């Protein structure tokens, strides 16, 4: 009897020890797993990034829509050039560099990483980590291109170029009038030139910014002498600057706001003896938040927490809509400053169909041409169409109103003046 009790006690003790050991092993494994959980998490994240990059690299060429993307992509980041797979490029390191850049930008965390770095530079040092965008006084954002051009002004001009330019504009107006088309030439303003008081202290002309030579005087004189119908947007902004309750150039934008564009469009319709779209009348009110071109430079900063709550405006129609037999056709050629001008044109008594030939300055200061069509009353960018010579000739033949724009920073040097003159010469 005692032996059976001892046997059972021994078996119970062994089972208890085995259970204790098992529980100890399980507890140890749990503690080991919890201790290494961050390591497993990091390893899993790295594996995900590797597989995501591999997937993006595989589908980029033929199925780009299948890429794994960030929900908040970066603004103004040019697509990297494809890697060159030649022996010379490989030996020079160009292939490796291009592959490295492409793989880095394909990563889903690339956008948020850039935004975090840019936010750090902006918040701690008050600086811009975006190429070509600088921060001036009172938080004003400027494009370096316009600052450099403004600070380089010395009052000199090329008289031969000026004469040829004004003669071409006069020829354009005469040829347009012969074919029953209205024509207006528009000089759009530069933010650096019209709001020089807020230029950054690092600008080359910061100390004399408000006393720079007036660049446009000889150009105005040449236009007046050639009897070209024009709207001087730079002078218009200078005159309206103190009258407007909201700055015409928003803090986070490089372009004039909707009020500036509407003022220019109103003057263009007033300048014509019989405007095909009627004379624009508009009303304006403060906007709750900056949108579109009012925050284009703010977007280019690519911050984690951009502040778009600064003064800007929105516009609406003030007069009655006209009784138009058909929508007039407006052909506009110029740069990005035309966007707000053409948005204002949709509020005219007779909203036109707009063909916008957009001469866009690229990162290397070359020009890329785009063609966009807007239906009457459509203030969006519209539909992108082909930008061929034949398409321009067709737009020109059907146009009732031609609007040609140059910015003061590049006046008399742009391609749109020559392109329009050539197109008019081709008309039968």
Give, to the nearest 10 degrees, the angle between helix 94-106 and helix 110-125.
90
| pLDDT tens digits, 6-26 | 444 445 455 445 554 556 556
Query: Can you list the pairs that 308-312 forms with residues at least 24 positions away whose Cβ atoms lie under 8 Å?
Result: 308/252, 310/139, 310/250, 310/251, 310/252, 311/246, 311/247, 311/250, 311/251, 311/286, 312/246, 312/247, 312/250, 312/253, 312/257, 312/286, 312/287
- Which one is predicted more confidently, 69 or 177? 177
- Find the range with the poorest average confidence among 330-334, 359-363, 370-374: 359-363
| pLDDT tens digits, 234-290 | 999 999 999 999 999 999 999 999 999 999 999 999 999 999 999 999 999 999 999
Same domain, 387 and 329: yes
Same domain, 121 and 167: no
Same domain, 272 and 209: yes
- Which one is predicted more confidently, 324 or 424? 424
Could you write out the three-class secondary structure of 340-407?
Answer: HHHHHHCCCCCCCEEEEEEEEECCCCCEEEEEEEECCCCCCCCEEECCCHHHHHHHHHHCCEEEEEEE
Same domain, 270 and 338: yes
DSSP class per residue in 59-96: HTTT-GGGS---SSPPSS-PPPPPPP-SHHHHHHTHHH
Q: How far is CA 127 from the centre of its chain?
A: 20
Report how far residue 138's alpha carbon sits from residue 86's, in angstroms, rounded to the nearest whole number.
50
Last residue of a domain, one of 110, 125, 140: 125
| pLDDT tens digits, 181-217 | 999 999 999 999 999 999 999 999 999 998 999 999 9
In-domain check, residue 147: no
pLDDT of residue 391: 96
In-domain check, residue 5: no
Residue 53 has pLDDT above 80, yes or no: no
The SS3 call for residue 13 is helix
Residue 146 has pLDDT above 90, yes or no: yes
In-domain check, residue 261: yes
The 10 Å Cβ neighbour count of residue 225 is: 11
Give the DSSP letter of residue 244: -
Report how far residue 107's alpha carbon sits from residue 118's, in angstroms, rounded to the nearest whole number.
18
* Banded pLDDT at 66 (limits 50, 70, 90): low
pLDDT of residue 93: 72
Backbone angles phi, psi at 41, to 5 degrees: -65, -45
Residue 1 has pLDDT above 80, yes or no: no
In-domain check, residue 48: yes
The pair of structure tokens assigned to 42 is 């990091």
Instruction: Give the total number of structural domains in the chain.
Output: 2
Last residue of a domain, one of 125, 150, 173: 125
pLDDT of residue 5: 46
User: What percent of the chain is predicted at pLDDT more than 90?
Assistant: 66
Contact in structure between 119 and 168 (CB atoms under 8 Å): no
| pLDDT tens digits, 292-332 | 999 999 999 999 899 999 999 999 999 788 788 899 999 99
Same domain, 238 and 366: yes
Same domain, 287 and 380: yes
Same domain, 87 and 169: no
Contact in structure between 272 and 230 (CB atoms under 8 Å): no
Backbone angles phi, psi at 99, to 5 degrees: -65, -40
| pLDDT tens digits, 113-128 | 788 888 999 999 999 9
Same domain, 119 and 165: no
Give the DSSP letter of residue 130: S
In-domain check, residue 27: no
Beta bridge partners of 334: 358
In-domain check, residue 26: no
Same domain, 418 and 366: yes
Last residue of a domain, one of 125, 141, 174: 125
> By residue range, what is the domain housing residue 67?
39-125
The pair of structure tokens assigned to 220 is 């105005």
Q: How far is CA 23 from CA 26, 36, 172, in A?
A: 5, 20, 93
In-domain check, residue 55: yes
Same domain, 271 and 327: yes
Residue with tokens 């208890």: 16
Q: Span 411-418, mean pLDDT? A: 96
pLDDT of residue 193: 96
Instruction: Please name the residues in contact with 54: beta carbons below 8 A apart, sequence gap of 6 or more.
Output: none
pLDDT of residue 28: 55
For residues 295, 296, 300, 306, the Cα torsion angle rounded to the nearest 10 degrees is: 10
Contact in structure between 334 and 359 (CB atoms under 8 Å): yes
pLDDT of residue 9: 46
Same domain, 338 and 199: yes
In-domain check, residue 264: yes
Q: Over the chain, what is the mean pLDDT?
A: 85
Report how far residue 423's alpha carbon sits from residue 417's, in angstroms, rounded to the nearest whole number.
10
Same domain, 360 and 421: yes
């Amino acid at each position: 009897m005692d032996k059976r009790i001892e046997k059972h006690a021994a078996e119970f003790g062994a089972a208890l020890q085995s259970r204790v050991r098992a529980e100890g092993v399980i507890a140890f494994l749990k503690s080991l797993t919890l201790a290494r959980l961050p390591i497993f998490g990091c390893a899993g994240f790295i594996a995900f990034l590797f597989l995501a990059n591999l997937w993006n690299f595989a589908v980029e060429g033929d199925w780009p829509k299948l890429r794994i993307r960030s929900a908040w992509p970066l603004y103004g980041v040019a697509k990297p050039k494809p890697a060159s797979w030649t022996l010379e490029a490989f030996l020079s390191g160009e292939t490796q560099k291009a592959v490295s850049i492409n793989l880095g930008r394909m990563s889903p965390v690339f956008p948020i990483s850039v935004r975090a770095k840019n936010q750090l530079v902006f918040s701690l040092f008050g600086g811009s980590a975006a190429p070509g965008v600088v921060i001036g006084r009172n938080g004003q954002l400027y494009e370096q291109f316009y600052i450099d051009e403004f600070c380089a002004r010395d009052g000199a001009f090329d008289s031969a170029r000026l004469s040829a330019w004004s003669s071409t504009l006069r020829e354009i107006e005469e040829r347009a009038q012969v074919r029953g088309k209205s024509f207006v030439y528009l000089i759009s303003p530069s933010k650096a030139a019209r709001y020089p008081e807020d230029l950054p202290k690092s600008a080359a002309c910061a100390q004399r910014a408000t006393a720079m030579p007036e660049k446009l005087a000889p150009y105005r004189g040449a236009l007046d002498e050639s009897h070209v119908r024009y709207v001087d947007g730079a002078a218009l902004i200078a005159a309206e600057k103190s009258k407007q309750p909201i700055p015409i150039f928003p803090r986070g934008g490089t372009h004039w706001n909707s009020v500036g564009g509407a003022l220019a469009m109103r003057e263009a319709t007033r300048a014509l003896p019989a405007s095909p779209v009627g004379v624009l009348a508009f009303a304006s009110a403060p906007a709750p938040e900056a949108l579109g071109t009012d925050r284009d430079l703010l977007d280019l900063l690519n911050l984690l927490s951009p502040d778009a709550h600064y003064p800007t405006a929105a516009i609406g129609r003030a007069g009655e809509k006209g009784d138009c037999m058909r929508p007039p056709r407006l052909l506009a050629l110029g740069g990005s400053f035309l966007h707000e001008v053409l948005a204002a044109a949709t509020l005219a008594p007779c909203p036109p169909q707009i063909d916008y030939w957009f001469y866009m300055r690229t990162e290397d200061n070359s020009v890329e041409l785009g063609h966009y069509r807007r239906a009457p009353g459509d203030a969006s960018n519209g539909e992108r169409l082909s930008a061929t010579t034949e398409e321009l000739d067709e737009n020109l033949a059907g146009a009732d109103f031609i609007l040609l724009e140059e910015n003061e920073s590049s006046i008399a040097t742009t391609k749109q003046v020559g392109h329009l003159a050539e197109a008019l010469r081709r008309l039968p």
